[in-house]
Structure 1
Amino acid sequence: MKLIYRVGIFLARLLLLLAGLFIPKIRHFSSGRKNLFQRLEEFRLKYPGKLAWFHVASLGEYEQARPVIAELKRVHPDYLIAVSFFSPSGYDHVTKKPQPQVDFITYLPLDSKRQADRFVKSLTPSIAFFVKYDLWYHHIRAVKASQIPLFLFSASFRSEQIYFKSDGFFRNILFQFDHIFTQNETTLELLRSINYQQVSIAGDTRFDRVAETARNYKEYPDLARWLGDKPVVVAGSVWQEDMELLIPLMNSHPDYRWIIAPHDLSPEPMKRWTEQLKLKSTRFSQWDSDDSPDVIFIDNIGMLSSLYQFARVAYVGGAFGKGLHNILEPIGFGIPVIFGKLEKVAKFPESAVSQERGCSFEVKDADSLKLVFMKLEQPVVYEQSAAAARSWVEVNIGAAERIINKVEELIA
């Protein structure tokens, strides 16, 4: 299997080079890794101190890493922090603005033995963390070969994943970690079922992150004046399938203000939705704050997490398509959340738990959305749901501290 894996990585590298000739996104994936080792070696020559390496797949996993990075820096302020990304979308987003607690941001090279060995040797971390998944065999083996403490946190596995289907190559990757911190009991039991014992439940570090965002949100005075005393719905990361449900609801509730943050920021979908609305709408980039539309489309990246401060209710998109976006961000503000019906609930365990807690609601079509919305307009039902959101966040805060405390104990 190791040989098959190596051949597969080699072929993938060739395919990426060929595809990059025709597909801009693939070309960007490859070109972003040019001079990777030169940048890395120059950084370590200039900053040779103790370093903690965090590997994340993309932006969502970086958000899970941030509370752990902050806690590690609190305990060890002398540590340098390096973060590697696999996905260009995560890397591009994070490098656009300062990351005060991170000293070096890089792509992860493709997982060949030669490149992985060089990456780890050049980076020379004192400790390494992988976040949730994206477990690359050669990089993990290179860490272990260098006897560097290695941890996985925010792990959330499913029984159908290859690690649990048979013993051998892929399962062995999990056994390289000195300790795995899980988000939930299900993952803990899955790991114990394959006789992996260095495991504990720490919880989902996203709760630490969303609680921090809710405490320190960015203020938008112009939006606050526009909203006034009207009830507000914030719809975040929505796709066409979500808007097909939302537009009838919006047209039937002109008494609300609507903040819509599309996942795709190209103007065509927003133009199409505007034409279907009976309400007055505009894009945030074109909005005159003296104007008073019913709907504002947020046509930029970076505002959404703070916009939930205004919401009475949030709708989070993606469930009908590539995957549900972050429902914990609005729940962090103590508000009920609505989202589309998921096909694979196991991939998003927070969706099921939040429904059990009573702070989220799943809808399958425009009619069921209308019913849930009407339900939440009842004061008693609304307050129960909002209280459930606040309570759920409160009991889950502290995952980052639990992780670093255990790491300190293990490496002492």
Structure 2
Amino acid sequence: MLFFYNIALALYGLLLRVLAPFVPKAAAWVAGRRGLLAHIRRTIGTECAPRVWFHCASLGEFEQGRPLLEAYRKAHPATKLVLTFFSPSGYEIRKDWPGADYIFYLPPDTRGNARAFLDAVQPQLVVFVKYEFWYHFLNETHRRGIPAVVVSAIFRKNQVFFKPWGGFFRGILRRFAHIFTQNEASAQLLRDAGIHQVSVAGDTRFDTVVATAALPPKVLPVVSAFVADGAPVLVVGSSWPEDLPALAPLIRRYGAELRVLVAPHEITESNLRLVETSFPGLVRRYSQAEPATVAQSRILLFDNIGLLSQLYRFGQYAYVGGAFGKGLHNTLEAAAFGSPLFFGPAYEKFQEATELVALKCAFPIHNAQELEAAFTYLWHNEEARLRLQDALLDYVHGQAGATRTIMAALPGHTTS
């Protein structure tokens, strides 16, 4: 199985190099790994400070691991933090994040790369966030006696680890010194598979969104001017083109009474123009808006990144995109501000979304008619909306605390 694993990774790297001239993300992935190990060795040099290595697949996993990174920095200020990303969408956005001492791409998972990377970094602890279980890196940390943990992990019965032929992949999980899962169901799946270095700690994303909601609001003059008339606000976060057919009739119906903030998941000219052509005369791009005139539009379209978590504080309602495609995006950022949630049908792989649906704080919809019916009920029933707001806030705050639990149990790094 290891032979096929190595072949698959080699083919994956080859495919990205073939695609690089045509696909910007592939080009960034390839360029970011050119001369990477030499760059890591030069950057770290011969510094003798203790180091801990955190790995995040992409931006979402970074936000999930961020409270733990910050807590570790506070508890161990003399330790240098090394942060790696697999995806360009994580690395390019957070490569200058001041909370880590070193930020790199992760080299491709080969035995030679794993050994060279660990020789350069020499971490005393390794923390993987949620996903990505790389055989060679974990095998080498295990061989060297470096404890590796994964945090906020979640598992489902249909994953390869739990198939009769999944022994190789279960072996990867056994390389971890400990696995901190989001829920008991994940922990039980691992125990049933013979993996017992497991405990339930919860999801560190709750700590992230609670902390974000508690921060002083970021000064956003354009947004403040846009919502200054007090009209109800719908925040559309991480939208995809596939979300627009469900959203368009609702926005057209309530457009004269509602203000809408739209933050597409991918900021491309084609995606921006699709929103503009769907609502002719109603849209103003954020980069082109001025506080004095922005309120003349009904839809503020964000053609930048990094503001979405702040935008939810302006909303009374939230639509979260992605669930008409590959899967739902982050619902907790909106829930932390008490916004009733609407999203498409592909949500059941996300524990917090299923829990919010069960609490009747979130409304999964299959089409425009279902979205309009759910929204209209709350639009005409302010008391019900406020009850949902309270229930959302109770849920989010009640789930916080995973960071503290994990910090207290990290191998060799307990805190008082």
TM tier, shorter chain? over 0.9
Aligned residue for 1:249?
A: 250
Residues 407 and 414, structure 2, Cα contact 8 Å, conserved in 1 = no
Choose which of 270, 276, 279 in structure 2 pairs with 1:277.
279
Of stretches 304-313 and 165-174 in structure 1, the one that deviates more from structure 2 is 165-174
Aligned AA for 2:315? A
Report the secondary structure of 1:252's partner residue.
Answer: helix
Aligned: 1:234 with 2:238: no
Unaligned runs of 5+ in 1: none
- The Cα of 1:100 is off from its aligned counterpart by 2.2
Deviation string, structure 1 residues 305-324 (Cα, Å, up to 9, x no partner): 10111000111001001221
User: C-alpha offsets along residues 256-314 of structure 1, whole Å, 9 cap, x if unaligned?
Assistant: 11111112322333333333326622111111221121111011111111011100011
- Deviating above 4 A after TM superposition, structure 1's stretches of 4 or more consecutive aligned residues are 21-24, 408-412
Among 79, 103, 123, the residue aligned to 2:101: 103
Per-residue deviation at 1:363? 0.9
Amino acid at match of 1:246: L
Q: What aligned pairs does 1:33-44 form with structure 2 within 5 A after superposition? A: 33-44=33-44
Bigger mean CA offset, 361-370 vs 270-279: 270-279
SS at match of 1:210: helix
CA pair 221-22 structure 1, distance change in 2 beyond 3 A: closer
1:404 aligns with 2:403: no
CA positional deviation for 1:410: 7.3
Measure, in 2, the Cα distance between the counterparts of 1:401 and 1:411: 10
Match of residue 320 from structure 1: 324
1 CA distance for matches of 2:153 and 2:94? 22
Q: Is the 8 A contact 1:53 1:129 kept in 2?
A: yes
The answer to whether the 8 A contact 1:58-1:86 is kept is yes
Aligned ranges 1:2-401 → 2 under 5 Å = 2-20=2-20, 23-45=23-45, 47-95=47-95, 98-166=96-164, 167-216=166-215, 217-228=217-228, 229-253=230-254, 254-277=256-279, 280-291=282-293, 292=295, 293-342=297-346, 345=348, 347-377=349-379, 378-401=381-404
Distance 1:410 1:195 in 2: 26
> TM-score, normalising length from structure 2?
0.94
Contact 2:152 2:182 in 1 (8 A): yes
CA distance in 1, matches of 2:412, 2:107: 31
| CA positional deviation for 1:357 | 2.1
| CA distance 1:240–1:11, shift in 2 (3 Å) | closer
* Amino acid paired to 2:340: P
Mapped contact 1:319–1:339 kept (Cα < 8 A): yes
How far apart, CA to CA, are the structure 2 residues paired with 1:222 and 1:84?
35
After superposition, the Cα gap between the structure-2 partners of 1:278 and 1:41, relative to the gap in structure 1 and judged at 3 Å, is closer
Q: Does the 8 Å contact 1:251/1:279 carry over to 2? A: no
Amino acid at match of 1:205: T
In 2, the alpha carbon distance for the partners of 1:15 and 1:99 equals: 30
Shift of 1:379: 1.7
Tell me how far apart the structure 2 counterparts of residues 178 and 310 of structure 1 sit (CA, whole Å): 43
- Judged with a 3 Å threshold, the aligned counterparts in structure 2 of structure 1 residues 176 and 410 are, in CA distance, closer, same or farther, namely farther
The answer to whether the Cα contact below 8 Å between 2:225 and 2:292 also exists between their aligned partners in 1 is no
Aligned mates of 2:16, 2:283 — CA distance in 1: 42
Secondary structure of the 2:364 match is strand
Find the aligned partners of 1:23 and 1:222 in 2 and give their Cα distance.
Answer: 33
Q: Which amino acid aligns with 1:251?
A: R
1:373 positional shift = 0.5
C-alpha separation between the residues in 1 aligned to 2:317 and 2:281? Answer: 19
Kept in 1: contact 2:407–2:413 (CA 8 A): no
CA deviation string 1:154-181 (max 9, x = no partner):
1011111111113521110111111110
Percent identity reads: 37
Structure 1, residues 224-263: CA drift from partner, whole Å, max 9, x if none? 2321211111101111221111121111111111111112
1:214–1:333 CA contact under 8 A, matched in 2: yes
C-alpha distance in 1 between matches for 2:14 and 2:371: 47
- Give, in whole Å, the separation in 2 of the partners of 1:17 and 1:398: 42
The 3-state SS of whatever aligns with 1:152 is strand
Using the TM superposition, name which of 138-147 and 8-17 deviates more: 8-17
TM-score by length of 1: 0.94
Deviates more, 1:9-18 or 1:234-243: 9-18
How many residue pairs end up in the alignment?
408
Q: Is the CA contact (8 Å cut-off) linking 1:280 and 1:295 kept in structure 2?
A: yes
Task: Check 1:27–1:408 CA distance in 2 against 1; reply closer, same or farther (3 A cut).
Answer: closer
Q: Secondary structure at the match of 1:78?
A: coil
Give the SS at the match of 2:150.
Answer: strand
Q: Cα distance, 1:26 vs. partner? A: 2.3
Question: CA offsets per residue over residues 164-202 of structure 1, 9 Å max, x none?
Answer: 113521110111111110011210111111121211111
- Asked if 1 retains the 8 angstrom alpha-carbon contact of 2:222 and 2:289, the reply is no
Aligned Cα root-mean-square deviation (Å): 1.8
Bigger Cα displacement from structure 2, 123-132 vs 332-341: 332-341
Tell me how far apart the structure 1 counterparts of residues 288 and 75 of structure 2 sit (CA, whole Å): 45
- CA drift of 1:43 comes to 2.6
Residue type of the alignment partner of 1:7: I
Shift of the alpha carbon at 1:122? 1.1
